[in-house]
Amino acid sequence: MEFSSFFPVWNRLTVQQQAVLSGSVFSRKVNKGDVIHNGDADCTGLLLVRSGQLRAFILSEDGREITIYRLFERDLCLFSASCMMRSIQFDVVIEAEKDTELWVIPAETYKQLMDESAPLSNFTNEVMATRFSDVMWLVEQIMWKSFDKRLAAFLLEEASIEGTNELKTTHEIIGNHMGNP
């Protein structure tokens, strides 16, 4: 499939904007376990998942991880281009949970197009609002639900994602997702 069929607002961009985007976007394949973006140390660009699965998480000073959201086919990751968003005050790490094919949109190109295109700017705001909602949901879970209920919800979600009732995972992986060592 072509990038244009995956990018949700493609048909709302001008022909010139489509040409700029087509000329700068590139595809990338990553293996399970690869770190694609490592906080504010790099500005990877926006990631559009073609196939596979990515995990966005934050890392504490003592090395603890907590998953803030996951990305699946057709999902767009804005935090991998946090350099274009000055108000982001935390570092997000993006890691491949499965072998993944994705497109990378350079941050400079996306920012330029977003400044020119109201539909792209609106779409970006919707994606940002969704991610903010994901993070707020996580905060609510941590603050108000007991660990056993959060664990049960996590295991049910994993079973749904994997399409099975038998999960092959480790305590470490579960702990990394849930913010517990």
- Residues 153-165 have pLDDT tens digits of 889 888 898 899 8
Q: pLDDT at position 1, please?
A: 67
Q: Could you tell me which residues are beta bridge partners of residue 135? A: none
Token pair, residue 8, equals 């949700």
Per mean pLDDT, which range of 19-23, 39-43, 133-137, 171-175 is the poorest? 39-43
Architecture of domain 3-144: Sandwich (2.60)
What's this model's pTM, rounded to 2 decimal places?
0.85
Residue 71 has pLDDT above 90, yes or no: yes
Indicate the pLDDT class of residue 86, thresholds 50, 70 and 90.
Answer: low
pLDDT band at 87 (very low <50, low <70, confident <90, very high): low
DSSP output for 49-82: EEES-EEEEEE-TTS-EEEEEEE-TT-EESGGGG
Q: Higher pLDDT residue, 91 or 15?
A: 15
Helices (H), 25-165: 107-116, 118-144, 147-162
> Mean pLDDT of all residues in the chain?
90
pLDDT tens per residue across span 18-39: 999 999 999 999 999 999 988 7
d(CA 138, CA 143): 9
Please provide residue 15's backbone torsions phi and psi, each rounded to the nearest 5 degrees: -60, -40
Lowest mean pLDDT, pick from 81-85, 99-103, 158-162, 163-167: 81-85
Of residues 46 and 86, more confidence is placed in: 46
User: Counting every residue, how long is the chain?
Assistant: 181
Q: Is the pLDDT of residue 178 over 70?
A: yes
Residue 141 has pLDDT above 90, yes or no: no
Starting from the edge strand earliest in sequence, which strands make up the sheet with 54-59, in order?
35-38, 93-96, 54-59, 65-71
State residue 85's pLDDT score: 65
